């Protein structure tokens, strides 16, 4: 459908797209896991371990976009540590969120002599390939001493938003 | 405190502690679990070490700043004398443990 703005000194014309499916871009559901007083989780593991901060969502349709937002108000490290986002699809095994390469700092990096107690945040997405339940959880590891993605009594939030595509 | 105690016993331990719960420690990558009683004993020891250095923390909190020290050293005279008096007063206020 062609449109024309009239009556102005700088009239504009254009075309309203007709290829947008009804409801496309609509937010279908939001799941939010918020903890105002995180109970602390510290690791010295050199391989990624669960943080215990989880949120699950069941997509209404395959192909929909799941926007994943995570924040921690304060990390807790006595050495050096990193965190990344993990995903479990249905009854499968949990693994690093696909589509991010070389993303070892995707959720956060902390070093005691640089940014101890600084916040962490993550904004990612995943395109659902089925309507199986999706479980998202940041994982963490330490490369020296100890590290926690969130300090005790810090706040954490993990928000999942399903968008119709 | 739990994970610090574990790493004092075994600096190479790979472990996760959640909610400061000593009964749900996760041991990773082949780390040999340490008995809870040993961890608790080390925690008591670490706490004692921390408490024994309270005098040092108190002194550091009340000592003149480095800037004050530099000025006193450069100015000399009464300024330096006054600064040394402040340091002495702080030391007297917080004697070393066992002193």
Residue B16's pLDDT is 97
Q: HSE (CB half, 13 Å, CA atoms) of B3? A: 27
Q: How confident is the model at residue B60 (pLDDT cuts 50, 70, 90)?
A: very high
Tens digits of residue pLDDT in A15-42: 766 666 778 899 999 999 999 999 889 9
Helix (H, G, I), strand (E, B) or coil at A109: strand
Residue A129 reports pLDDT greater than 80: yes
Q: Cβ–Cβ of A46/B29 closer than 8 Å?
A: yes
Residue A162: predicted pLDDT: 98
CB contact (8 A) between residue B16 and residue A42: yes
- pLDDT value of residue A23: 83
Tell me the pLDDT band of A100, cut-offs 50, 70 and 90: confident
The pLDDT, as a whole number, for residue A8 is 56
The pLDDT of residue A90 is above 80: yes
Chain B hits for A39, Cβ within 8 Å: 18-20
Q: A45 and B3: CB-CB below 8 Å?
A: no
| Cross-chain residue pair A43–B13, CB shorter than 8 Å | no
CB atoms within 10 A of CB A33: 16
The pTM for the full model equals 0.80
Query: Which residue from A minimizes the CA distance to B12?
Result: A44
B56-84 mean pLDDT: 94
What whole-number distance in Å separates Cα of residue B77 and Cα of residue B33? Answer: 61
| Set of chain A residues whose Cβ sits within 8 Å of the Cβ of B7 | 44, 145-146
First-to-final CA distance of chain B:
28
Smallest Cβ–Cβ distance between B14 and the set A40, A44, A152 belongs to: A44
Element (H, E) at B77: helix B77-93
Q: How many CA atoms lie within 13 A of B58 on its CB side?
A: 15
B18 band by pLDDT with thresholds 50, 70 and 90: very high
Mean predicted lDDT score pLDDT of chain B: 94
């Amino acid at each position: 459908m062609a449109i024309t703005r009239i009556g102005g000194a700088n009239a504009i014309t254009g075309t309203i797209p007709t290829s947008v499916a009804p409801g496309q871009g609509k937010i279908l559901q939001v799941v939010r896991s918020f903890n105002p007083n995180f109970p602390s989780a510290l690791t010295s593991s050199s391989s990624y371990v669960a943080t215990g901060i989880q949120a699950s969502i069941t997509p209404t349709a395959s192909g929909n976009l799941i926007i994943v937002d995570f924040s921690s108000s304060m990390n807790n490290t006595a050495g050096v540590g990193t965190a990344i986002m993990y995903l479990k699809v249905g009854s499968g095994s949990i693994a690093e969120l696909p589509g991010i390469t070389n993303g070892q700092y995707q959720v956060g990096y902390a070093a005691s002599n640089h940014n101890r107690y600084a916040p962490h945040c993550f904004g990612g997405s995943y395109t659902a390939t089925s309507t199986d339940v999706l479980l998202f959880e940041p994982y963490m590891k330490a490369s020296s001493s100890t590290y926690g993605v969130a300090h005790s009594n810090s706040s954490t939030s993990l928000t999942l938003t399903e968008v119709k595509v | 405190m739990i994970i610090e105690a574990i790493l004092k016993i075994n600096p190479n331990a790979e472990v996760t502690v959640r909610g400061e719960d000593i009964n749900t420690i996760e041991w990773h990558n082949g780390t040999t679990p340490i008995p809870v009683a040993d961890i608790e004993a080390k925690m008591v020891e670490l706490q004692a070490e921390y408490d024994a250095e309270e005098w040092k923390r108190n002194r550091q909190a009340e000592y003149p700043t480095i800037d004050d020290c530099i000025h006193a050293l450069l100015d000399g005279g009464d300024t330096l004398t006054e600064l040394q008096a402040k340091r002495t007063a702080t030391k007297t206020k917080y004697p070393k443990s066992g002193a």
